[in-house]
Chains A and B, each alone.
Chain A
Amino acid sequence: MKKWNLAAFLLILLTVLGISGCGQQNKVVLNVYNWGDYIDESVIEDFEKQYNIKVNYETFATNEDMYVKIKSGGTDYDVIFPSEYMIEKMINENLLQKLDFSNIPNYALIDDQFKNLDYDPNNEYSVPYMWGTVGILYNKTMVDDPVDSWDILWNEKYAGQIFMLDSQRESIGVALQKLGYSLNTRDVNELQQAKQALIEQKPLVLAYVGDEVKDKMIGGEAALAVVWSGDAIYCKRENPDLEYVIPKEGSNYWFDAMAIPVTSKHKKEAEMFINYLCETEVALKNTDYIGYSTPHAKAKEMLSEELKNDRAAYPLPEDIARCEVYKDLGDFVTEFDKVWTEIMAQ
């Protein structure tokens, strides 16, 4: 028995040494840090084969999780996929490197609509990957009023039939826009009014949810839900009774983009990877897998007519004109935290 134990221990020890030995090969290892389930995995394999680079692919769940890992300095990720407000914050804190766009010729294929945006005004640090909006997903068989305003989420007729997102910026943002204020307000008074509105709404809300909202809406558990556009497209595909609307008061217009943190040791390979993801075929594959909207002009052209003309996936310019992009709130974010905690504690 004891001998067997010893053998097992040695075996494990050898495996460990084996793992640490792997890194010694002269192949470049690229550390990619992306959202969970946010890429067609076959794309990574193709890239590895084509460029003879090994990709270490890892995932995170929120911008903040990712930020902690980068900020702590103990990691060396080469390509990360933050959202717009996080890019702004990371640029301000000097956590991102300027990109060399001569290594990313495919950047030209990105639609001009997604260039020179507020979070990266001179297009120096990031390349857009996916984008979308926030809106209301509703079940046509359960809602008989026209859905065109955030106000419907305060309609007592739908008490216990409303899902809100368990995400403070999205939910507070909905209340702010309903009241006609900016998503990026730094006015404590406006924020307090939004808080009151959400507290008032709380008895009508069935639950504050995350990802599970998709299954619940497909299953017809509620009439209305606040969702991200990509999720809405997926839900519509599974249940044709569902429809998605960007309310007339406006909504949030968001981007996830690719960037290179200052801790990266393989900038050139990281740029090659970004360039690869901007190839038309690859962008198409990813959009198809993820279901969100692509900023890639050519890839969009190649989508099915049905999807291309779907206002949920590719809203009309007038829809987008009403939308706002999140800005980094800086220290004011603690006020949002406070308000959200107070709402949740009610």
Chain B
Amino acid sequence: MVKDIFNRIYLFLIFVFLYAPIAVLIIFSFNNSKSRANWNGFTLKWYLQLFKDPDIKKALYYTVIIAIISSIISTIIGTAAAIGIHNMSKWKKTLVMNITYLPILNPDIVTGISLMILFIFFKVRLGFVSMLLAHITFNIPYVILSVMPKLKQLNKHLYEAALDLGATPAYAFFKVIIPEIMPGIITGALLAFTLSLDDFVISFFTAGSGVTNLSITIYSMARRGVNPTINALSTLMFLCVLILLFIVNKRTSKDANE
């Protein structure tokens, strides 16, 4: 009984620490004053300003577009790579997997600067394309690592069985292998999407004239003061993600029931 209460308090504290900052941010997105120290009454003006601010709108646009495109492309490349690696011989597989781990263990700043130097070396102008390529690059290993376990669980004979029953290799691949590893692919895609959304360091070095994302815009406000419109934006993004999660959860629980 005592242990039970203790568990609950512990859990409660964890959630307080996780969500208190977000709650404060949401509350202060309605604050009339620019300062976080004074509460000057309720207002929606930061939301209005948010929709008028061309900088934040532009940054949001690039953040979302890059996250979507880079997660789709890196999911395709990463899944194909994972299948290829899975079918390699033992020592080759170990070697390639170690190379895959490297970019993950590497500090972001090293990846960011080396990509910047690479782009400049090949005379790629820093901008949308360079930032997109950078995001695809750092997303791929995460996709490979989330697809690999699903491939390991896969029954080796499933694919052969499909061929025996008359499927062409391509048909067997799309109708048998892909659905089997789908959970891994979706995890990889979601992971890639979120990583791309909040990446700052690599984006900073590979973005160029005309293109910024939200993390760069917010970071550059750090010295002069973060504008409360960012609170409004964060509140909206938090709500979107929350709603999205509810929908996904509902769908999966429906699937489970069926």
Q: How far is the CA of A101 from the CA of B228 in the complex (A)?
A: 38
B222 close to A215 (CB less than 8 A): no
A61 close to B225 (CB less than 8 A): no
Q: How far is the CA of A247 from the CA of B29 in the complex (A)?
A: 37
Q: How far is the CA of A216 from the CA of B225 in the complex (A)?
A: 13
Q: Which residues of B contact A61 (CB under 8 A)?
A: 219-223
Known A15-B65, A74-B116; contact A38-B204, beta-carbon cutoff 8 A: no
Q: Which residues of B contact A12 (CB under 8 A)?
A: 65, 68-69, 72
Question: Does chain B have a CB within 8 A of A50?
Answer: no
Q: Which residues of B contact A216 (CB under 8 A)?
A: 37
A-B CB contact pairs (8 Å), 7 listed = A16-B128, A29-B210, A41-B54, A60-B220, A61-B221, A211-B221, A234-B225
Question: Does chain A have a CB within 8 A of B55?
Answer: yes
B222 close to A74 (CB less than 8 A): no
B208 close to A74 (CB less than 8 A): yes
Question: Does chain A have a CB within 8 A of B227?
Answer: yes
Q: How far is the CA of A74 from the CA of B211 in the complex (A)?
A: 13
Known A31-B210, A60-B220; contact A19-B37, beta-carbon cutoff 8 A: no
Q: How far is the CA of A57 from the CA of B119 in the complex (A)?
A: 22
Contact pick for B224, options A9, A37, A41, A74, CB 8 Å: A37
Question: Does chain A have a CB within 8 A of B217?
Answer: yes
B209 close to A75 (CB less than 8 A): yes
A215 close to B221 (CB less than 8 A): no
Which chain B residue shows the least CB distance to A263? B209
A41 close to B208 (CB less than 8 A): no
B69 close to A16 (CB less than 8 A): yes
Interface size class of B (residues with CB under 8 A): 35 or more
Known A16-B65, A57-B55, A58-B209; contact A36-B37, beta-carbon cutoff 8 A: no
Contact pick for B212, options A9, A37, A59, CB 8 Å: A59
Q: Which residues of B contact A77 (CB under 8 A)?
A: 209
Which of B126, B130, B210, B216 has its CB near the most chain A CB atoms (within 10 A)?
Answer: B210
Known A19-B128, A74-B126; contact A9-B221, beta-carbon cutoff 8 A: no
Q: How far is the CA of A60 from the CA of B35 in the complex (A)?
A: 22
A59 close to B221 (CB less than 8 A): yes
Which of B37, B38, B68, B219 has its CB near the most chain A CB atoms (within 10 A)?
Answer: B37
Query: Smallest distance from the beta carbon of B32 to chain A beta carbons, Å?
Result: 12
Q: Which residues of A contact B220 (CB under 8 A)?
A: 35-36, 59-61, 65
Q: Which residues of B contact A193 (CB under 8 A)?
A: none
Q: Which residues of B contact A192 (CB under 8 A)?
A: none
Q: How far is the CA of A257 from the CA of B225 in the complex (A)?
A: 20
A-B contact sample (17 more), CB < 8 A, given A45-B54, A211-B221, A219-B37? A9-B72, A12-B69, A12-B72, A20-B128, A37-B227, A61-B219, A65-B220, A69-B208, A74-B116, A74-B125, A74-B126, A210-B223, A211-B222, A214-B225, A215-B37, A231-B225, A290-B224
Known A12-B69, A16-B69, A59-B217; contact A75-B208, beta-carbon cutoff 8 A: yes
Query: Smallest distance from the beta carbon of A255 to chain B beta carbons, Å?
Result: 15
Could you mark each residue 99-117 of chain B with 1 if its beta carbon is under 8 Å from any beta carbon of chain A, else 0? Answer: 0000000000000000011
Residues of chain A having any CB pair with chain B under 8 Å: 9, 12, 15-16, 19-20, 23, 29, 31, 35-38, 41, 44-45, 56-62, 65, 68-69, 72-77, 210-211, 214-216, 218-219, 231, 234, 238-239, 290
A211 close to B225 (CB less than 8 A): yes
Q: How far is the CA of A293 from the CA of B226 in the complex (A)?
A: 20
Known A19-B128, A56-B210, A74-B126; contact A218-B222, beta-carbon cutoff 8 A: no
Q: Which residues of A contact B209 (CB under 8 A)?
A: 31, 56, 58, 75-77
A36 close to B35 (CB less than 8 A): no
Q: Which residues of B contact A31 (CB under 8 A)?
A: 209-210
Query: Smallest distance from the beta carbon of B58 to chain A beta carbons, Å?
Result: 9
Which chain A residue shows the least CB distance to B227? A37
Q: How far is the CA of A72 from the CA of B117 in the complex (A)?
A: 8
For the complex of A and B, the 10 pairs showing the least CB-CB separation, nearest first, are A36-B220, A219-B37, A36-B221, A59-B220, A74-B126, A218-B37, A31-B209, A215-B37, A56-B210, A61-B220
Query: Smallest distance from the beta carbon of A307 to chain B beta carbons, Å?
Result: 17
B221 close to A238 (CB less than 8 A): no
Interface positions of B from 218 to 253, Cβ below 8 Å from A: 219-227
Question: Does chain A have a CB within 8 A of B120?
Answer: yes
Contact pick for A62, options B117, B124, B223, CB 8 Å: B223
Q: How far is the CA of A231 from the CA of B35 in the complex (A)?
A: 12
Question: Does chain A have a CB within 8 A of B160?
Answer: no
Q: Which residues of B contact A58 (CB under 8 A)?
A: 209-210, 212
Which chain A residue shows the least CB distance to B52? A41
Q: How far is the CA of A166 from the CA of B80 in the complex (A)?
A: 47
Q: How far is the CA of A61 from the CA of B226 in the complex (A)?
A: 11
Q: How far is the CA of A214 from the CA of B224 in the complex (A)?
A: 10
B55 close to A59 (CB less than 8 A): yes
Q: How far is the CA of A74 from the CA of B128 in the complex (A)?
A: 13
Query: Smallest distance from the beta carbon of A266 to chain B beta carbons, Å?
Result: 11
Known A41-B53, A59-B212, A77-B209; contact A36-B125, beta-carbon cutoff 8 A: no
Q: How far is the CA of A219 from the CA of B119 in the complex (A)?
A: 47
Question: Does chain A have a CB within 8 A of B187?
Answer: no
Contact pick for B120, options A19, A36, A62, A73, CB 8 Å: A73
Q: How far is the CA of A9 from the CA of B72 in the complex (A)?
A: 8
Contact pick for A36, options B68, B130, B223, CB 8 Å: B223
Question: Does chain A have a CB within 8 A of B36?
Answer: yes
